[in-house]
Structure formats: structure tokens, C-alpha cells
């Protein structure tokens, strides 16, 4: 499956309804972004059951600002609507494949329990 371009209008719906979604924040003038792109595209092709999206930070400046993108490329991963990973920098293909495996294996019941516990601790502090 090819990557999908996200905009301010489509971002939230894609994250909430997409199951597991990887998002590459990039720009056409960014050398590391252009070097990372073939790895990202190959990962999208190799994992057609997942959503691989791209956000052009030049075209979607408001969305990039809302997501606190300060360096590109930045890759984010969302599972069941919850952000589970964010890191700036171009990942080599083996590291990207490992990230995909780790996100696939996440126990989302445990993630939700951990989030609930963290919120409860913050509320009582």
C-alpha cells in the first residue's frame, strides 16, 4: 500500500480510525527526509495492513505546529488512536522495521492502564 498524504482536515480522522498509523513529517528541501523516503515507502509496501502517512510540513505548517514538530524528518506512530512513538531523525531501514514490529506487538490494554494510572497520579499531585 502506498503512503497517504495527511492534512489538517484528515489527520485526526486517520489517526482515530486507522488502527496502526505511522506518520512521516517531512519537507521537500530536507536532505535527510529525501534519504529516508525510500525506506518509508518500502516499509509501507511491505506492511499493507498498516497505514503509512506523510505530512509535508511546508504545506501543512499549522498541523506541524500542532504536533510540536521542531525537527524533520520526525516519525510518529499511533495505535488505536493513541500516540505510542515519536522521534526526530531518519531511521535506517532495519530500525524502522524493528519499530514497526514493536508497535505491532504493543499490548494496548496495558498501554491504556498505564495512561490511566499516570493521569490518576497527576490528578492527585
End-to-end CA distance of the chain: 46
Q: 20-26 and 51-56 as β-strands: parallel, antiparallel, unpaired? A: parallel
Residue 69 falls in the annotated catalytic set: no
How far is 4 from 51, CA to CA, in rounded Å?
8
Which residue is catalytic, options 6, 21, 30, 100? 30
Half-sphere exposure of 94 (CA within 13 A, CB side): 0
Residue 86 falls in the annotated catalytic set: no
Which residue is catalytic, options 21, 33, 43, 44? 33
Q: List phi, psi (to 5°) of 84.
A: -120, -5
**Catalytic site residues?**
30, 33
Amino acid at each position: 500500500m502506498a503512503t497517504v498524504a495527511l492534512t489538517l482536515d484528515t489527520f485526526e480522522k486517520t489517526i482515530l480510525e486507522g488502527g496502526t498509523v505511522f506518520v512521516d513529517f517531512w519537507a521537500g528541501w530536507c536532505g535527510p527526509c529525501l534519504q529516508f523516503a525510500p525506506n518509508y515507502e518500502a516499509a509501507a509496501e511491505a506492511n499493507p495492513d498498516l497505514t503509512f502517512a506523510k505530512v509535508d510540513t511546508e504545506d501543512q505548517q499549522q498541523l506541524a505546529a500542532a504536533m510540536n514538530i521542531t525537527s524533520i524528518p520526525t516519525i510518529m506512530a499511533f495505535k488505536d488512536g493513541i500516540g505510542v512513538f515519536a522521534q526526530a531523525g531518519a531511521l535506517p531501514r532495519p530500525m524502522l522495521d524493528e519499530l514497526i514490529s514493536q508497535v505491532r506487538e504493543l499490548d494496548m490494554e496495558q498501554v491504556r492502564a498505564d495512561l490511566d494510572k499516570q493521569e490518576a497520579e497527576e490528578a492527585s499531585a
